[in-house]
Amino acid sequence: MSCLRTIVPLMALLLATSLLASYEAGSAYATSDKPLPEPDHFDLKSVDTSLNPCDDFYKYSCQKWKAANPIPPDQAGWSHGAKLNLWNQQVLKGVLETASANDPKRNAVEQKIGDYYAACTDEQGINTKSIAAIKPELDRINALSDKNQLAAEIAHLHQITFVLARNTNSGSGTAAFGFSASQDLDDATKVVAAADQGGLGLPDRDYYFKDDAKSVELREQYQQHVRKTFALAGEGEATANTDAQVVMEMETALAKLSMDIVKRRDPANLNHKLSAEELRAMTPHFSWDVYLHDLGVPPTAHYLVATPDFYKGLDKLIVSEPLNNWKAYLRWHLLHDASPQLSQPFVDETFEFYGRRLVGQKQLRPRWRRCVTAADRDLGEALGQVYVERTFGADGKQRMLKMVNALEAALGADIQQLDWMTPATKQEALIKLKQIEDKIGYPDKWRDYSSLKTVRTDYAGNVFRASEFELKRQLAKIGKPVDRAEWGITPPTVDAYYDSQLNTINFPAGILQPPFFDKQQDDAVNFGAIGAVIGHELTHGFDDEGRKFDASGNLRDWWTAEDGKEFDRRAKCVADEYSEFEATPGVKLNGNLTLGENTADNGGLRIALMALEGTLASGDAARPSSDGYTPEQKFFLAFGQVWCANLTPEALRLQAQANPHSTPRFRVNGVVSNMPEFQKAFGCKKDQAMVRENACHVW
């Protein structure tokens, strides 16, 4: 959540954008009253044995699944993860519906989540209120009479929209810029105030400049969307038109000032420590004193400013743009963030652009699903407690821990046997590995929401209050010891992440379900599925970005110069390999943007296989063969099947342009074609596509 913290989630599908239309699941099931289908299990019958695994392993593993699982109309993609997410959401829906009955016997947590859900699902009440729900907020902006008041208004908007304008890989989504707390990059024991670039409505800076036909069209559609939203809010045609133009110009100016997404992957580029004096000098026309006072920012050791050049340009923009333009820009960001909480016309208009145009969704998700997603965002750890009670047992945690230990041992053995790394660097790497903390299932200590008020008749207000609560919670960390127990995602989330500043790997209960983790399956299958996920997260500690942090989470170079060069040479092989892959016709993957994820995918699968072989050799697991497959074949098939997915062309395009994860087909084929172990398991020949002549191997 905080601006700079380097959390690296596993999934692209759930994280692609911070916007309303993320890849959520389908009304084909969702609107039905029938019980939802259970999440998929590993299935040997879905292997297409008419194909040769060595030609295209993704097709071999996924073609039948893809044919049987078309994208539901309210989805931009459909995958095992999306299906599991839908199943998880149905569990949450049950919890929320029970809690939403206006029963005086409810406890405090039930009241909070129940009233939140009741307000969100009260479509009629929301429609009746319409724009009146945020009129006081619009009035505040319209009443601005002097540019000196901008700092106070931006502070206020940041408070009420903090959780709505989620951070993307390109920066913060909040108006003008982003502000929060962050662990210091050089001293991970310190939490400091952190400022980052932001203020854009499109997913990434490049969306404002690309000149291919599709990008030009998307910009035109975006400007139309801004115009229509202004019109819905009551602006006359001419004003809405002019204001939309102003927004486009101002966002383009901010985009021009923004550091690009690949450069941002090197934390050294974001590490600028400023004193309060320097902060003021950076933007003489923006009153940090007012801004920091209004947010109640505690004293901080220094300010961590990710992109000082952005702020210098922002200051010029404050001078050059008339107050009226700033008012239009701020109105737009308020409307943009509030639209999902407003009446149907606002919801539909937002869906038209962010759903239909940007990611190719055909239908809006049903309201209950949007409300479950919002409740998970705003009250996730209150809701998560019940989810964990219902779905996650102690036996699951034990088996998972055993696998994590096996994977960590395998990575240790892998590091020790590397022929390109000197003993000095190996020793540092092993210390870092040993210090990785494993978090499984849910936090030890649940978040206290008692100061957050939810009201049955005020959905927009509930969301604004939740936002204020969250920003306040983040900023309160400044100057205090780091809370190592905190989680960055909620327990029902179908995802996992590595946190380079805490040096932790995190697997919430939400992903510890089939087909990722399946108590009914043998070890070969589980190591290929969740084992590869564990390996992926561990490897992030040692990818091109993670390797720059040490065991304590500090940005410190612990590599000898020679080993660093050897690493870069191997990483370049991976970057070059993936740059050749075409995500959708005309759009290739960006090998430098996806380097960390691809390194993690490759290393993760290799050490998962090492761990499986170790487990098999120790006699802990049998080598069952009654199904006609060797454990190694099942291991690779489980890995392939986990990534079976259908994505719209729009979603593939968005992912390739703005997301650090490769698209699913290449997450599979890119990895196995680098592995002699795969080629041996399936008897591949030299000239087949899954056998790369220049196989890449980092970890």
Nearer to Zn ion, 335 or 671 (CB): 671
H or E element that contains 320:
helix 308-320
Nearer to Zn ion, 578 or 682 (CB): 578
Nearer to Zn ion, 99 or 589 (CB): 589
Residue 537 CB, shortest distance to Zn ion, in Å, is 7
Q: Could you tell me which stretch among 6-14, 319-327, 420-428, 557-565 binds Zn ion (CB under 5 A)?
A: 6-14
- Distance of alpha carbon 372 from alpha carbon 93, whole angstroms: 6
On whether the CB atoms of residues 537 and 496 are closer than 8 A, the answer is yes
- Distance of alpha carbon 280 from alpha carbon 287, whole angstroms: 7
Q: Tell how far CA 587 is from the center of its chain.
A: 22
Site for Zn ion in 290-349 (CB under 5 A): none
Angle at 568 between CA 564 and CA 570, to 5 degrees: 120
Site for Zn ion in 525-584 (CB under 5 A): none
Nearer to Zn ion, 521 or 598 (CB): 598
Residues 6 or more apart from 347 whose CB is under 8 A from it?
339, 340, 364
H or E element that contains 426:
helix 423-435
Residue 6 CB, shortest distance to Zn ion, in Å, is 11
Nearer to Zn ion, 115 or 544 (CB): 544
Q: Could you tell me which stretch among 8-16, 130-138, 356-364, 471-479 binds Zn ion (CB under 5 A)?
A: 8-16
On whether the CB atoms of residues 602 and 674 are closer than 8 A, the answer is yes
Nearer to Zn ion, 8 or 192 (CB): 8
The site string for Zn ion over 351-380 (x = CB under 5 A, - otherwise) reads ------------------------------
Residue 601 CB, shortest distance to Zn ion, in Å, is 8
Residues 6 or more apart from 642 whose CB is under 8 A from it?
80, 515, 516, 528, 529, 532, 533
The site string for Zn ion over 587-606 (x = CB under 5 A, - otherwise) reads ----------x--x------
Nearer to Zn ion, 190 or 661 (CB): 661
Residue 597 CB, shortest distance to Zn ion, in Å, is 5
Residue 421 CB, shortest distance to Zn ion, in Å, is 22
Q: Could you tell me which stretch among 2-10, 47-55, 283-291, 500-508 binds Zn ion (CB under 5 A)?
A: 2-10
Nearer to Zn ion, 170 or 467 (CB): 170
Q: Could you tell me which stretch among 5-13, 282-290, 353-361, 615-623 binds Zn ion (CB under 5 A)?
A: 5-13
Residue 491 CB, shortest distance to Zn ion, in Å, is 19
Q: Could you tell me which stretch among 9-17, 106-114, 178-186, 683-691 binds Zn ion (CB under 5 A)?
A: 9-17
Residue 214 CB, shortest distance to Zn ion, in Å, is 27
3-state secondary structure 106-170: CCHHHHHHHHHHHHHHCHHHHHHHHHHHHHHHHHHHHCCCCHHHHHHHHHHHHHHHCCCCCCECC
- The site that binds Zn ion (CB under 5 A) totals a number of residues, namely 4
Residue carrying structure tokens 């019940």 = 386
Supply φ then ψ for residue 171, to 5 degrees: 140, -160
Nearer to Zn ion, 381 or 537 (CB): 537
Residues 6 or more apart from 54 whose CB is under 8 A from it?
679, 682, 683, 684, 685, 688, 689, 690, 691
Residue 488 CB, shortest distance to Zn ion, in Å, is 13
3-state secondary structure 361-405: CCCCCCHHHHHHHHHHHHHHHHHHHHHHHHHCCHHHHHHHHHHHH
Nearer to Zn ion, 235 or 597 (CB): 597
Residue 117 CB, shortest distance to Zn ion, in Å, is 32
Nearer to Zn ion, 10 or 595 (CB): 10
**Secondary structure of residue 645 in the 3-state scheme:** strand
Residue 499 CB, shortest distance to Zn ion, in Å, is 11
Residue carrying structure tokens 């999902």 = 340
Beta bridge partners of 178: 196
Residue 443 CB, shortest distance to Zn ion, in Å, is 21
> Which residues lie near Zn ion (CB under 5 A)?
8, 10, 597, 600
